[in-house]
Amino acid sequence: MIFLSYWFVAFVACFLPVYWLPWPPAVRKWLLLGASVVFHGHFAGPAGVVPIVALGILTYVAGLLRSKFWCVVGIVASVAALVFYKYLRFLCESLLGAVVPAWGEAAWSSAQDWLPGAPPLAISFFAFEFIHYLIEVYRGHEPIRSKVDFALFAIFWPSIVAGPVKRYAQFIPELELGAKSVRGDDVMIGFLRLAMGLVKKFAADNLTAWISFHDDHYASLPMSMRWLIFVGIALRIVLDFSGYSDMAIGFARMMGMRLPENFWFPYLARSPADFWRRWHISLSSWIRDYIYIPLGGNRMGPVRRVVNGIAAFTLCGLWHGAAWNFIVWGLYHGAGLAITASIPALLGRTGARLETGMQRLWPVAWALTMLFVGVGWLLFFYPLPQALTMLRLLVARS
């Protein structure tokens, strides 16, 4: 947990007071860039920094050239880096290995020579932000011309670890505002937001310890306890993820910048679609804008819409980690979204009545959505057989 390390506390305690001094905007930006380089260098190490610097330079130059060819090259390079660093083992062992185990093993053993011990820190965030940038430039939007601004967009330290996934059109104006002046109000609100994030993280860590302890003897627990753990798992992830986001948003606010909200009371959602409008908003909107809509979205008929949704959410699942359970989780959500979106069209008048009924009986819609989301978390956290066993044990004694 980077934000809870003593090194990080010392880093923030040294950096923020200096940043708050009345510097000219250009100096402030350089200060922020220096801090971001120190932060990234410390936590990622040389093996983690080099690929990001290389990708960043390629992305910046491709953007400046405004050439479609170079934008595509940059996008392919980001995707390739993501696949190489994060998914190569999964591709070798779990995909190729599932077909021809010997090939999978051989591929992985030779790939190991090329890979660092761990993927570069936050490679998924970097890749998604660079891809977004290049797609926007490809679509004709203005690129970032200033090297400092681009570097800050790439390695802005509050959002490196756990997002939100930034959009440069939103970020650059905020950066300018923060560099110009930091108001007392911003610092105060940032502090409060940071405190909120810390409280959430504290609760999430306690829940994690509690859940991990009960994992081993889940089957022998009474039914009420199993349901309590089911709820605990759902609470843990929202507290953990949104706690991190709160801290990132809080730190940015202390520097006079507003990062986009990432979680908006997701457990108040009354449908899977509503849930995804509230959950990890920056990621789900990225998936929508750069995968779902380019695939055709809902413009090419109901079948294509279902296929597009499932494909987009499978990728969303895979983004969270290189393992089958994340893919299954993505598929599950994609299927859930497809079914709930298709019911009114498939069932005709009955479907429309059902939809209206659910809007009126919102507690039922809410409960069903929470059940759907909760089952999803079992798939997210546990290997499929274990998740299915846990699910069965929510209704069966043994």
In whole angstroms, give the CA distance from residue 184 to residue 350: 56
Active site residue 320: yes
Stretch that binds other proteins, among 18-26, 204-212, 307-315, 354-362 (CB under 8 A): 204-212
Stretch that binds other proteins, among 25-33, 67-75, 205-213, 377-385 (CB under 8 A): 205-213
Contact between 265 and other proteins (CB under 8 A)?
no
Task: Work out which of 17, 22, 140, 184 binds other proteins, going by CB under 8 A.
Answer: 184
Contact between 202 and other proteins (CB under 8 A)?
yes
Stretch that binds other proteins, among 15-23, 164-172, 178-186, 263-271 (CB under 8 A): 178-186
Contact between 80 and other proteins (CB under 8 A)?
no
Task: Work out which of 80, 118, 209, 361 binds other proteins, going by CB under 8 A.
Answer: 209
What's the burial of 265, exposed, middle or buried (CB within 10 Å: 0-12/13-18/19+)? exposed
Least separation in angstroms between CB 163 and other proteins: 23
Task: Work out which of 53, 72, 83, 187 binds other proteins, going by CB under 8 A.
Answer: 187
Contact between 213 and other proteins (CB under 8 A)?
yes
Contact between 9 and other proteins (CB under 8 A)?
yes
In whole angstroms, give the CA distance from residue 190 to residue 347: 48
Contact between 206 and other proteins (CB under 8 A)?
yes
**CB 183, CB 256: distance < 8 Å:** yes
Task: Work out which of 5, 181, 350, 359 binds other proteins, going by CB under 8 A.
Answer: 5
Residues 366-385 that bind other proteins (CB under 8 A): none
Contact between 210 and other proteins (CB under 8 A)?
yes
Least separation in angstroms between CB 207 and other proteins: 8
Binding interface with other proteins (CB under 8 A): 5-7, 9-10, 183-185, 187-188, 191, 202, 205-207, 209-210, 213
Active-site positions?
320
